Chain A
Amino acid sequence: MIIEIGHYALVLALATALIVSVMPMIGARRGDMALMTLATTGSLTLFLLVTLSFGALTWAYAVSDFSVMNVWENSHSLMPMIYKYSGVWGNHEGSMMLWLLILTFFSALVAVFGRNLPETLKANVLAVQAWIATAFLFFILLTSNPFLRLNPAPAEGQDLNPVLQDLGLAIHPPLLYLGYVGFSVSFSFAVAALIDGRIDAAWARWVRPWTLAAWTCLTAGIAMGSYWAYYELGWGGWWFWDPVENASFMPWLAGTALLHSALVMEKREALKIWTVLLAIMTFSLSLLGTFLVRSGVLTSVHAFATDPTRGIFILCILALFIGGAFALFAWRAPMLKAGGIFAPISREGALVLNNLILTVATATVLTGTLYPLVLETLTGEKISVGAPFFNMTFGLLMLPLLVVVPFGPMLAWKRGDLLGAFQRLYAFAGLALLAGLAFYYAQHGGPVMAIFGLALGFWGMFGALADLWHRGGFGKAKFSVAVRRLAGLPRSAFGAAIGHFGLGVTVLGIVSATTFGTETVVEMKPGASVDAGGYSLTFDGMRDAVGPNYTESRGHFTVARGGVTVADVWSAKRLYTARRMPTTEAGILSFGASQLYVSLGDAMDGGGIVVRIWWKPFILCIWGGALVMMFGGFVSLSDRRLRVGAPSRRAKAARPRLEAAE
């Protein structure tokens, strides 16, 4: 019964979405208040209905109702409860439901917090959101219905893919979707503004917090996914340039560009057309990512052809929204007036450079991801584009970006002083180089050029500190004055500095882990020892263990440094009983930001087992940096000028005119 209620709620949601798609827009054209307010109530209702439906599906998973096909295919009665819950979105139908839930969640947020938006803009934004919801509701109901029943109901489920039976599945997809789908709000704002034909600095100010919120979640989601792959897949890699990864990375890159261009638009009314285009492109890449991941086209062009309904459907959604938005853009954009004028050397100029590099990087990843697909479709020829290609091209593009990041905040708006920026930064550059040298020295060896890579990481970190240093006026004013001035800075200034600092931390982690990391592959018998990263690992032997829905054979290692035992670690090979699928559960020990990663291979004749041990110095900086970036996003979001939905709460009477930016 509950399942049928869930299904019915989804149908009702479709009806609601259709109403919200049309009515508020008509209201906005006619100036009919009643129709426009329908957008708010409608969006809230829509969110409620989708939540109800999602809740019904979750309930089916929680009680292991195997009469529901989706539950039977992806769950097992013995599975730990947490995986039963997270298993809801560990499959195609469920993940589309999560997509929809988050989309309507964002609509509801706009409905609630957008009280100060101009009525027409709000009505249009929510209507565009409802268009997207309508498309995906149709998609779920027609091609990916999670509520299909089985008769007779099987007694036991087929279990969730063992790789997904991890806390990572509970956190990673929701965060990723919050980012991915969160960009829909920027998209809807862009389309609504194009329909309205009016875009100004206020628009940028409204759209920026939403972009920032989505970007923050996406940053966390990607980092989380990367760490999950790192510890789950068992070979110590953390980024594979897999098409699925690229699918989430492209919106992130474009979103990062959008964040920066919206800044220019808010402060200086420049780059309007570009910002709108970028908002459209960012969400288009989210949609493209959904298509790539969900259609199966990535595994093989042929897999796509065998069951094309879903793929074709999303492709149609893709064509409709991206094509429609670009057509609207082409029609309306020329009517937008150009904004503020600036010199090439200026804060705006720096942000334009940021946008150029990030956009080209996005395009490069996009080309690399789609090229084999397109080539095979056109010529039937199969080629691969893998990690070596992306590392080279993307790396080449990132290098200049990383070098110039600290200069951006040092330049004034309108017309900057490059020489002055140099003068303010050279001490910090020197410090970064010294820190790189010290770091290199502490690691005993490695390629000399690594010093520059390390220095680049430190440069990012110190550059961010330099930004705050000069804003406070340290070294010029009295210390107490500088501290007070620093405390008086808007939170968004801190957010930017923290974000850039995090970028530096990540770069440092990447360079350190890749250049100073070591790898040891060795056959070990109980009692044998092996050295890695200055630690000595002794293999104590294997033991069999039984988990709730798996059996495992795990090895115990004692870790010593200088003859003193400092830690011990288990590393296991698991076999999930329902699917007869083996997984590797690596043993990971953290020492500060560095990690020792122990993974078991095959058992050899004669009682030995292949053990692979990696020493990964400062690898945690990679994800730690991402967390810092995320924190920067939150700090920026808490800025009172940007607080979600509160752009003009203080000056409600003065709406929609806004006071000058700073």
Chain B
Amino acid sequence: MTGGEARPALANPGLLATLLLVLFVFLGPLPAFAVNPNEVLADPALEQRARAISAQLRCMVCQNQSIDDSNADLARDLRILVRERITNGDTDRQVIDYVVSRYGEFVLLNPRLGAKTIVLWAAPGLLLLIGAGAIIVFIRTRPSQRTVAALSAEEQARIDELLRK
């Protein structure tokens, strides 16, 4: 058996980070539709790294598929390339940098934070802040409606006067 069992690799064991990773980073596919037994690296640790990197690289000739999922020839070549670089001792970062230098940013399914993607990455947090801010303002202004309903000293005096009659 050349393939063996593959489990998603866990990166940083920080508590929240790990939880999130477990929950969501691998939320989608555990795919490798296309990884062939003869491509698989002998060292399981290296193979896991290769898989994790492959899942982040786009198959350029497919629609929205990572090279890990695709059985296109180009995807296969890229998978082999990634494994070659890893066996040659590249770090994950170096492998990805190399692929990007050859194919451009388009190849990254997880776009890098940069001037062009700052809006993309900031949007969720920013919107959450704006939304929360709007709600706080909304709630803060609400009591003012209640104070409108409350009586001014003058009105209170008048009521007291009326009640005394």
Docked-complex contact B3 and A360, CB < 8 angstroms: no
Which one, B5, B10, B66, contacts A518 given CB within 8 A? B5
Binary contact track B103-144/A, C-beta < 8 Å → 1, others 0: 011111111000011011001100110011001000100100
Q: Which residues of A contact B65 (CB under 8 A)?
A: 240
Docked-complex contact A381 and B116, CB < 8 angstroms: yes
Docked-complex contact B4 and A520, CB < 8 angstroms: yes
Q: Which of B24-44 contact A (CB under 8 A)?
A: 24-38, 40
Inter-chain CA distance A497–B37, complex, in Å, is: 47
Which one, B18, B40, B132, B142, contacts A341 given CB within 8 A? B142
- The answer to whether residues A392 and B25 also contact, given A338-B145, A364-B124, A397-B124 and a CB cut-off of 8 A, is yes
Q: How many residues from A make CB contacts under 8 Å with B?
A: 71
B102 contacts chain A at the CB level, 8 A cutoff: no
Inter-chain CA distance A356–B109, complex, in Å, is: 27
Binary contact track A227-240/B, C-beta < 8 Å → 1, others 0: 00000011111111
- The answer to whether residues A379 and B33 also contact, given A391-B25, A395-B24 and a CB cut-off of 8 A, is no
User: Which stretch of A26-34, A52-60, A285-293, A446-454 is in the interface?
Assistant: A446-454
Which of A234, A379, A446, A514 has the largest number of chain B CB atoms within 10 A?
A: A514
Q: Which residues of B contact A41 (CB under 8 A)?
A: none
Which one, A235, A341, A371, A452, contacts B146 given CB within 8 A? A341
- The answer to whether residues A614 and B30 also contact, given A391-B24, A523-B2 and a CB cut-off of 8 A, is yes
Residue of A nearest to B7 (CB): A518
B91 contacts chain A at the CB level, 8 A cutoff: no
Docked-complex contact B69 and A237, CB < 8 angstroms: yes
A367 contacts chain B at the CB level, 8 A cutoff: yes
Which one, A235, A338, A391, A399, contacts B69 given CB within 8 A? A235
B23 contacts chain A at the CB level, 8 A cutoff: yes
B6 contacts chain A at the CB level, 8 A cutoff: yes
Docked-complex contact A382 and B105, CB < 8 angstroms: yes
B162 contacts chain A at the CB level, 8 A cutoff: no
B15 contacts chain A at the CB level, 8 A cutoff: yes
Q: How far is the CB of A373 from chain B (nearest CB, A)?
A: 12
Docked-complex contact B109 and A386, CB < 8 angstroms: yes
Q: How far is the CB of B149 from chain A (nearest CB, A)?
A: 9
B58 contacts chain A at the CB level, 8 A cutoff: yes
- The answer to whether residues A383 and B108 also contact, given A388-B55, A449-B18 and a CB cut-off of 8 A, is yes
A385 contacts chain B at the CB level, 8 A cutoff: yes
Q: Which residues of B contact A456 (CB under 8 A)?
A: 23
- The answer to whether residues A384 and B31 also contact, given A356-B135, A447-B18, A518-B5 and a CB cut-off of 8 A, is no
Q: How far is the CB of B156 from chain A (nearest CB, A)?
A: 21
Docked-complex contact B25 and A352, CB < 8 angstroms: no
Q: Which residues of B contact A371 (CB under 8 A)?
A: 117, 119-120
Q: How many A-B residue pairs have CB under 8 A?
A: 199
Which one, A394, A452, A530, contacts B24 given CB within 8 A? A394
Docked-complex contact B110 and A449, CB < 8 angstroms: no
Docked-complex contact B23 and A395, CB < 8 angstroms: yes
Q: Which residues of A contact B8 (CB under 8 A)?
A: 514-515
Q: Which residues of A contact B26 (CB under 8 A)?
A: 391, 514-515
Inter-chain CA distance A386–B29, complex, in Å, is: 12
Q: How far is the CB of B22 from chain A (nearest CB, A)?
A: 5
B157 contacts chain A at the CB level, 8 A cutoff: no
Docked-complex contact B116 and A379, CB < 8 angstroms: yes
Q: Which of A75-101 contact B (CB under 8 A)?
A: none
Docked-complex contact B135 and A352, CB < 8 angstroms: yes
Q: Which residues of B contact A359 (CB under 8 A)?
A: 127, 131
Q: Which residues of A contact B66 (CB under 8 A)?
A: 386-387
B72 contacts chain A at the CB level, 8 A cutoff: no
A612 contacts chain B at the CB level, 8 A cutoff: yes
- The answer to whether residues A523 and B145 also contact, given A235-B29, A360-B131 and a CB cut-off of 8 A, is no
Inter-chain CA distance A518–B32, complex, in Å, is: 11
Which one, B5, B36, B105, B111, contacts A520 given CB within 8 A? B5
Docked-complex contact A522 and B37, CB < 8 angstroms: yes
Docked-complex contact B31 and A383, CB < 8 angstroms: no
Docked-complex contact B37 and A341, CB < 8 angstroms: no
Docked-complex contact B116 and A237, CB < 8 angstroms: no
Docked-complex contact A384 and B107, CB < 8 angstroms: yes
A577 contacts chain B at the CB level, 8 A cutoff: no
Inter-chain CA distance A360–B119, complex, in Å, is: 14
Q: How far is the CB of B127 from chain A (nearest CB, A)?
A: 5
Binary contact track A356-396/B, C-beta < 8 Å → 1, others 0: 11011001100110010001000101111111110111111
Docked-complex contact A242 and B64, CB < 8 angstroms: yes
Q: Which residues of B contact A243 (CB under 8 A)?
A: 64
Docked-complex contact A239 and B116, CB < 8 angstroms: no
Which one, B20, B32, B106, B107, contacts A612 given CB within 8 A? B32
Inter-chain CA distance A395–B19, complex, in Å, is: 11
Docked-complex contact A521 and B124, CB < 8 angstroms: no
Docked-complex contact B63 and A235, CB < 8 angstroms: no
Q: How far is the CB of A496 from chain B (nearest CB, A)?
A: 22
A599 contacts chain B at the CB level, 8 A cutoff: yes
Which one, B107, B123, B146, contacts A367 given CB within 8 A? B123
Residue of B nearest to A381 (CB): B116
Inter-chain CA distance A364–B125, complex, in Å, is: 9
Which one, B19, B36, B117, B120, contacts A610 given CB within 8 A? B36
Q: How far is the CB of B61 from chain A (nearest CB, A)?
A: 12
Docked-complex contact A519 and B5, CB < 8 angstroms: yes
Docked-complex contact A452 and B58, CB < 8 angstroms: no
Inter-chain CA distance A146–B29, complex, in Å, is: 37
Inter-chain CA distance A364–B122, complex, in Å, is: 10
Binary contact track B67-79/A, C-beta < 8 Å → 1, others 0: 0010100000000
Binary contact track A493-521/B, C-beta < 8 Å → 1, others 0: 00000000000000000110111011111
Inter-chain CA distance A426–B22, complex, in Å, is: 25
Which one, B1, B22, B29, contacts A447 given CB within 8 A? B22
Inter-chain CA distance A235–B72, complex, in Å, is: 14
Q: Which residues of B contact A236 (CB under 8 A)?
A: 29-31, 33
Which one, B23, B29, B132, contacts A240 given CB within 8 A? B29
Q: How far is the CB of A309 from chain B (nearest CB, A)?
A: 23
- Closest 7 interchain pairs by CB? A395-B24, A386-B109, A235-B33, A237-B29, A388-B110, A521-B3, A382-B106
| Chain A to chain B contacts (Cβ below 8 Å), 9 pairs | A235-B31, A237-B30, A239-B27, A341-B146, A360-B128, A367-B124, A514-B26, A519-B3, A521-B32
* B contact set with A: CB distance below 8 Å: 1-8, 10, 15, 18-38, 40, 55-56, 58, 63-66, 69, 71, 104-111, 116-117, 119-120, 123-124, 127-128, 131-132, 135, 139, 142, 145-146
- Taking A514-B22, A601-B71 as known contacts, 8 extra A-B pairs with beta carbons closer than 8 A to each other, sorted by chain A number, are A356-B132, A356-B135, A385-B111, A388-B55, A391-B28, A449-B18, A510-B23, A521-B3
* A contact set with B: CB distance below 8 Å: 233-243, 299, 338, 341, 344, 352, 356-357, 359-360, 363-364, 367-368, 371, 375, 379, 381-389, 391-399, 446-447, 449-450, 452-453, 456, 510-511, 513-515, 517-523, 530, 599, 601-602, 610, 612, 614
